Amino acid sequence: MPDSRRVGVFGGTFDPPHVGHLVAARDAREALGLDEVRFVPAHRSPFKEGDAGTAPDVRWSMVACAVAEDDEFTVSRVEIDRPAPSYTVDTLRLLSEREPEVEWTLLLGVDQWASFADWKDPREIARLARIAVLTREGRNPASVDPGVPVDRTVVPVTRLDVSSSDLRERVASGRSIRHLVPEAVRAFIESKELYGPC
Ligand code: ATP
């Protein structure tokens, strides 16, 4: 019998997607031997309730631009097509039902891991997927204890100090985001006049 397919689920707001996301996904794929990393843009994060942000379909399109050149990266509509808020446990349940043969790994940045106890059904999440915590901007998950007794693997990620909020600020203040996002994403942002300048 062939080994089951290994797929990483990489959730986020991706407003916009940037090189930090892509490098994290690449490092996780290599370290964990994943066949695919599936980017899952949230319809609306339960933790960004009051934040209107960029429309879900627009963020989905930016992620599609960002992953277009990489055969092992894909983008899913599983959260975009469900009513908000987007709970990871529901997403993993749906994915497991649709593709029962897949071995799922949830990829989490250390900032998300720190608040994992506040997520809906963290133990059920850990039952549905292996949990891999990615280092971010020098922050090591080993020093973070969310207080939930679930197993996790730590994945060291090449350090890149870049965040979506920083990129939005750069555009709003008329600074360049060239080389911090794939060129297709930069062109998309420019053509849709996202994020200002205000
Ligand atoms: P914002 O600045 O708006 O909060 P963000 O840059 O953190 O956005 P998200 O879409 O919230 O981007 O992040 C999705 C996932 O990618 C999270 O797990 C986050 O930890 C991870 N991530 C984001 N930026 C980096 C980075 N520079 N290095 C490693 N992981 C990152």
Cβ burial, residue 184 (10 Å; 0-12/13-18/19+): middle
Residue 172 lies in a domain: no
Q: Whose CA is nearest to atom 18 of ligand 1?
A: 109
Residue 140 lies in a domain: yes
What residues make up the domain containing 46?
Answer: 5-159
Pick the atom of ligand 1 nearest to 157's CA: 29
The per-residue DSSP string of 77-92 comes to: -TTTTSPSS--HHHHH
Residue 90: CATH number of its domain: 3.40.50.620
Residue 170 lies in a domain: no
Q: Is 88 in the pocket of ligand 1 (CB under 6 A)?
A: no
Residue 75 lies in a domain: yes
Residue 185 lies in a domain: no
CA of 193 to the centre of ligand 1 (A): 22
Instruction: Report, as an integer, the average pLDDT of 42-46.
Output: 81
Helical packing angle, 56-67 and 19-32, nearest 10°: 60
pLDDT at 119 over 70: yes
Among 136, 140, 144, name the best residue to mutate to test ligand 1's pocket (greatest count of ligand atoms within 8 A of Cβ). 136
Residue 74 lies in a domain: yes
Q: pLDDT (tens digit, 9 = 90+) per residue, 17-36?
A: 999 999 999 999 999 999 99
The whole-angstrom separation of Cα 50 and Cα 48 is: 6
In the chain, the number of structural domains is: 1
ipTM, two decimals: 0.97
Asked whether the beta carbons of 132 and 157 are under 8 A apart, the reply is: no
Residue 149 lies in a domain: yes
pTM: 0.94
Cα dihedral: 69, 56, 91, 109 (round 10): 60
Q: pLDDT (tens digit, 9 = 90+) per residue, 74-94?
A: 999 999 999 888 899 999 999
Pick the atom of ligand 1 nearest to 19's CA: 27
Residue 176 lies in a domain: no
